[in-house]
Chains A and B, each alone.
Chain A
């Protein structure tokens, strides 16, 4: 289980679900030399970032567990590796959970979207991940970035076409 700051509002079970989900969505990769989103530093960032969105994220975690329980008989964090892999596979398939019964709750679905969004926000600002993408691990300001001017001669055919606005 991940160690979390004491002011974190999420219960231990919610934290477990969150870390398990993060790792399922973005697993570590040896090929690309990156951690998974269940890396302790990243999970801590996720939990801190999720704090202002607690209600939505909590609803999203609940939705995750609801679907997992309906499909496999256990909350997401308690699924076996095989069930978790199957869950991921079904999540990637349109209608992958159509065979199970669960109550449609737009708030919970919106919460899951918020939760996934926060996982992405925290993962893709991690130093190790940014470096693997050949980005400098820094904010945009104050150094900024270089952008090439580009080939302005591309405008020639547009100029040759002449006026296109309508007289009024």
Chain B
């Protein structure tokens, strides 16, 4: 048994990094256990000729395809959307695109405004200072003045509009619809030791330039300098409790596969919307036979993805293609509820700049637009550097039948039961996807697209994992309270996307991190009576 620590964080991804950095100023003894490794950016795919191929193998977004030693399998056979993640210091920020929108104020009040799901126990104004703090730490590029948001300031100028962004922006202007330069977690100038973006175009396979804000190069260097210890290749099996029903530490397997116990005064779980319920459900005891902090029965329930629609236009002029960050502009024309559309809530369009030569060929062939045989080359050249479009990120409402449970048979390399996903696309989501496809087709046509390729939902698009340990003031209807502490275990905190009450219609990382900073701040304000 090792010496007890003040704070033990499980998971070194987006939220674990933020909470560690924020708490470091307390000078408490803080240890973070991470099942993955520190990544070496020099080994990222964009350093090699096989950069597109590696997105299908060791840098795939799917743990089931990637199968690194540091991964755990996920049984998502009973879901039309499969789970995407990455296990390393930095977590899924290693592979995310860096599209970095905030929630809207209305996203925290969906019950009051639209009569669906539940309101959050906090609001936009409460989170705003933590959004701003996180923006500084991550280094957000963008442009102030977006009419879809309350005022907010960008840290750096936006990523280039480029040919692709300008072409699609003209389409939005023809339709009279909203668009704006995306807020991105991509440095467009040298920032906090990071170099500026040089348009590698491979953001979603790790940024070799270090321009994209993955937390291994943003929060973690600061946290480590402030005294936080990160132990890699440490996979936590369960959180233990003492006779008083308080968390006493964790049992984990170290890099040699040896079982260890780490005692702690406070345990913070930051394992994402699938990993967190998996850990809590694996943490059973006499006091918590159905999993830790699960008196509500809601641990693992209300899983929300964002169902994604992909709508890509084929243009008859060269666009940016494989060059530049994939993200450039967004549109929130259809974000706020309008029941005349046939669904409640809404979605964001994230405009995609283009794709590489392999992705162009795959898109063309698997959609039947590039033939086998002699006609291949001519048709390929009609698509190469001429595809640009968007994805619609649809708000997914919480439903208790969408779950993360423990698979009765599947385990990881340490024998720990793996997560099982049971998820059904709701009728509301289906209608929203259809709307997103139809409206995007209109705008791409207005922009000059001669053909449109669609996919909805994107089957591999389970990037956003939310809602499986929701926050709230009612212990019977939520897992953690309004500042992230488990209702059932007063020294157990959760800071990842699990605690989302609703999903909004935007990428969640910025809000996950703002919440983690908010929870850390709440803890710091209550240090003298944290467990009351």
Task: Check B199–A144 contact: CB distance below 8 A.
Answer: yes
A141 at the interface (CB under 8 A from B): yes
A133–B105 CB distance below 8 A: no
Which residues of A have CB within 8 Å of B376?
Answer: 25-27
Partner of B336, one of A117, A146, A165: A165
B161, closest chain A residue (CB): A150
Asked if B46 is an interface residue, CB under 8 A from chain A, the answer is yes
Interface centre among A24, A34, A123, A140 (most CB of B within 10 A): A140
The answer to whether B199 touches A145 (Cβ under 8 A) is: yes
Question: Quick one: closest B residue to A130, CB to CB?
Answer: B357
> Given that A135-B357, A141-B47 are contacting pairs, would A149 and B362 also be in contact in the complex, using a CB cutoff of 8 Å?
no
The answer, among B50, B56, B173, B374, for a CB contact under 8 Å with A117, is B56
Contacts of A27 in B (CB 8 A): 373-374, 376
Contact A148 B365 (CB under 8 A): no
**Contact in complex: A31, B377 (CB < 8 Å):** yes
B147–A168 CB distance below 8 A: no
Query: Contacts A133-B357, A166-B105 hold; do A145 and B198 have CB atoms under 8 A apart?
Result: yes
- Specify the chain B residue showing the minimal Cβ separation from A160: B147
- Contact across chains for B373 and A117 when beta carbons are under 8 A apart: no
Chain A positions 25 through 40: 1 when the CB is less than 8 Å from some CB of chain B, otherwise 0: 1110101101000000
| A144-168 CB contacts (< 8 Å) to partner B | 144-152, 154-155, 157-159, 161-168
**Known A139-B51, A142-B208, A161-B147: A91·B366 in contact at CB below 8 Å:** no
Q: Mark B97-112, 1 if CB is under 8 A from A, else 0.
A: 0000000111011001
Give chain A residues whose Cβ lies under 8 Å from the Cβ of B202: 140-141
With the chains together, A57 CA to B201 CA distance in Å?
Answer: 28
Stretch of B163-171, B281-289, B463-471 that contacts chain A: B163-171
User: Would you give the 0/1 interface string for A79-95, flagging 1 where the beta carbon is closer than 8 Å to chain B?
Assistant: 00000010011011010
Bound Cα distance A6, B202 (Å): 33
Say whether, besides A94-B368, A166-B113, A140 and B201 are in contact (CB < 8 Å).
yes
Interface assignment of B221: CB less than 8 Å from any CB of chain A: no
- Map CB proximity to A onto B491-531 as digits: 1 under 8 Å, 0 otherwise: 00000000000000000000000000000000000000000
**A147 near B323: Cβ-Cβ < 8 Å:** yes
Contact with B along A45-60 (1 / 0, CB 8 A): 0000100110000000
Contact assessment for A145 and B148 in the assembled complex, using a CB-CB cutoff below 8 Å: no
Q: B366's contact among A92, A113, A137, by CB below 8 Å, is which?
A: A113
The 8 Å CB contact of A150, one of B124, B165, B199, B377, is: B165
A164 to B336, CA, bound (A): 9
Question: Complex Cα distance A163/B56, Å?
Answer: 42
Q: Interface residue count for B (Cβ, 8 Å)?
A: 74
B50 to chain A, nearest CB (A): 6
Supposing A29-B377, A89-B373 touch, asked if A154 and B147 sit within 8 A by C-beta, the answer is no
Minimal Cβ-Cβ distance residue in B for A114: B56
B240: interface (CB < 8 Å): no
Measured CB to CB, the closest approach of chain B to A107, in angstroms, equals 13
Interface: A102 (CB within 8 A): no
Chain B residues near A128 (CB, 8 Å)? Answer: none
**Could you tell me which residues of chain B, from 75 to 129, have a CB within 8 Å of some CB in chain A?**
104-106, 108-109, 112-113, 123-124
B373 A164 Cβ-Cβ under 8 A: no
Q: Are the CB atoms of B373 and A146 closer together than 8 Å?
A: no
Instruction: Out of A25, A142, A165, name the residue touching B149 (CB < 8 Å).
Output: A165
Decide if B320 is an interface residue (CB 8 Å cutoff).
yes
Task: Establish whether residues B373 and A24, one from each chain, have CB atoms under 8 Å apart when the complex forms.
Answer: yes
Interface size class of A (residues with CB under 8 A): 35 or more
Q: Does A116 contact B (CB under 8 A)?
A: yes
**A121: interface (CB < 8 Å):** yes
Residue of B nearest to A120 (CB): B361
Report Cα–Cα, A37/B51, bound state, in Å: 19
A25 and B372 contacting across the interface, CB-CB below 8 Å: yes
By a CB distance below 8 angstroms, the chain A residues around B199 are: 144-147
Point out the residues of chain A lying under 8 angstroms from B179, CB to CB. 158
The CA of A141 and the CA of B56, in the complex, are separated in Å by 19
Q: Give bound CA distance, A122 to B358, whole Å.
A: 8
Tell me the minimal C-beta distance from B202 to chain A in angstroms: 6
**Contact (Cβ within 8 A) A158 B373:** no
- Given A141-B200, A164-B148, A166-B104, A158–B178 Cβ distance below 8 Å? yes
- Residues of the B chain whose Cβ atoms lie less than 8 Å from the Cβ of A142: 47, 198, 208-209
**CB contact list, B313-354 vs A, under 8 A:** 320, 322-324, 332-333, 335-337
Smallest beta-carbon distance B387→chain A, Å: 14
Contact assessment for B384 and A139 in the assembled complex, using a CB-CB cutoff below 8 Å:
no
Let me know if A145 and B123 touch, CB within 8 A: no
Interface of chain B residues 140 through 160 with chain A (CB within 8 A): 145, 147-150, 160
Q: Is B305 in contact with chain A by the CB < 8 A criterion?
A: no
In angstroms, Cα B36 to Cα A93, docked, is 46
Against A, the Cβ 8 Å flags (1 = close, 0 = not) of B413-448 are 000000000000000000000000000000000000
> Given the complex of chains A and B, what is the CA–CA distance between A92 and B366 in angstroms?
11
Specify which chain B residues have a CB less than 8 angstroms from the CB of A164 in the assembled complex.
147-148, 178, 332-333, 336
Q: Give the distance in Å from the alpha carbon of A124 to the alpha carbon of B219 in the complex.
A: 37
Output the nearest chain B residue to A143 by Cβ-Cβ distance: B198
Q: Is the CB of B384 within 8 A of A133?
A: yes
Question: In chain A between 90 and 132, which residues have their CB closer than 8 angstroms to a CB of chain B?
Answer: 91-92, 94, 113, 116-118, 120-125, 129-130
Which residue of B53, B108, B176 contacts A121 across the interface (Cβ within 8 Å)?
B53
Binding site for B on A (CB under 8 A): 24-27, 29, 31-32, 34, 49, 52-53, 85, 88-89, 91-92, 94, 113, 116-118, 120-125, 129-130, 133, 135, 137-152, 154-155, 157-159, 161-168
Known: A52-B57, A133-B381. 15 other contacts (CB 8 A): A49-B50, A49-B53, A92-B372, A118-B53, A125-B49, A139-B49, A141-B200, A144-B199, A147-B320, A150-B162, A155-B180, A159-B147, A161-B178, A164-B178, A168-B104
6 pairs, CB–CB < 8 Å, chain A vs chain B: A49-B53, A88-B373, A125-B52, A139-B48, A142-B208, A158-B173
